[in-house]
Structure formats: structure tokens, C-alpha cells
Structure 1
């Protein structure tokens, strides 16, 4: 798994940077509607899930823990699809845009610093 992360370090930094930008956008642009934030989140979650699944399938022959990114990718795509298909549920779960921004920013910082 360390070898896989060693090769894909740029992907983790890119994903963390996008998460940080998403969180900052949600925090400092209050005129942005919650529906647009949910749409941005769903695109981010689906794209991140696809990248995780492709990476897991690509390295399944050489890494024993290939199923972990596969499972995370499936969960990420599921969360993105729920946000797209049932935006009212996403709206009620997120509470207010500030909570969504804080969560995204924290996740982005952790992902950037993990490497």
C-alpha cells in the first residue's frame, strides 16, 4: 500500500486541495445556494470514487490491500449518487452550509497533510 501511495501522491494532494477549495467556497460565499453546494459535492464524490476504483483495479495484482480503495470508491460514488438523486435528504443531513464547509475543509487538510 505504501508503494501505491508513493506513486499516487499527487492524486492525494489534488483531492485534498479540491476538498479545501470546496470548503472555503462554501464558507465564504454564502449567496451560493445549498442545492449548488450539494451538486458540487456530488460531482466531487463521484469523481473521487471513480479515481479510487480505477486505482484499486489497476493495482489489484500487485497489492494485497487493493480492496480498501475499491470499497471507499464504491461508498464515495454511493454518497454522490444519493446527493444527486435525493437532494432533499442531502439538504436535511447537511444542516447548514457552514457545517458542510467545515467538514470538507477538515477532510482536505487531513488528506493534504497525510502525505
Structure 2
């Protein structure tokens, strides 16, 4: 189980890196978000859920409120990534996706 947790953890952080790099590296702030950004947002949500499942399967404590906040942020990031992928009218959804991704990382590190 520990090996599965480590692999999921690495995948989760890889998705975080791809998501942030994809949002920052976009040349035109008004352009549509790339497929990589959308895939990374989905991967972050899925790997986060699987990390909680592994934690529960190992009979280890889970910080419910933290998981709920992080899941809500991850769903919001995925929604913003979808919005940014479908429309290129303004840079709003890309900025929101980036800001919410950073907020998700801050919650992960600051909330014990």
C-alpha cells in the first residue's frame, strides 16, 4: 500500500506541475487552455481522491474538512480549466484556475 501511495503522490504533484506550467507558459493570456491543462486538472482531482482512498484503506486518520476543501478547490480548478478550454474571450478562467491551484497547494501545505 505504501508503494501505491507514493506513486499516487508523485502523480499528484506531477499533475500540479503540469497544470501550473501549462497556465503560466501560455503565450497569449486570451488563448484557450491547452489539453494538457485540462488533463492535469482532472488528474489532480482523481489522484487526490485515490490518495484519500488509500489512506482510508490503511486505517489511518483522514482530516475530513481539509479533504473537503481540497476536493472543492480541485473541482473548481477543473471547472475553470473546462471553461478556459471552451472559450478564449478573456483570460479570466485561466487566472482563476491558476489562483485556485495555488490555493489548493497552500491548503495542502499549511493545514495540518
TM-score, normalized by length of structure 1? 0.50
Residues 42, 78 of structure 2: 8 Å contact kept: yes
Structure with the higher helix share, 1 or 2: 1
Q: Give ranges in structure 1 of 5+ residues lacking alignment.
A: 1-5
1-side partners of 2:97 and 2:72: how far apart?
23
2:62 is matched with which residue? Answer: 65
Q: In 2 relative to 1, CA 72–16 (structure 1 residues): closer, same or farther, beyond 3 Å?
A: same
Residues 16, 40 of structure 2: 8 Å contact kept: no
1:22 is matched with which residue? Answer: 22
2:50 is matched with which residue? Answer: 54
Residues 16, 44 of structure 2: 8 Å contact kept: no
What secondary structure does 1:51 align onto?
helix
Residues 45, 79 of structure 1: 8 Å contact kept: yes
TM-score, normalized by length of structure 2? 0.51
1:33 aligns with 2:27: no
1-side partners of 2:73 and 2:50: how far apart?
14
Q: Give ranges in structure 2 of 5+ residues lacking alignment.
A: none
Aligned-residue RMSD, C-alpha: 4.5
Number of residue equivalences: 99
* Higher RCO, 1 vs 2 (CA within 8 Å, ≥6 residues apart): 1
Q: In 2 relative to 1, CA 10–65 (structure 1 residues): closer, same or farther, beyond 3 Å?
A: same
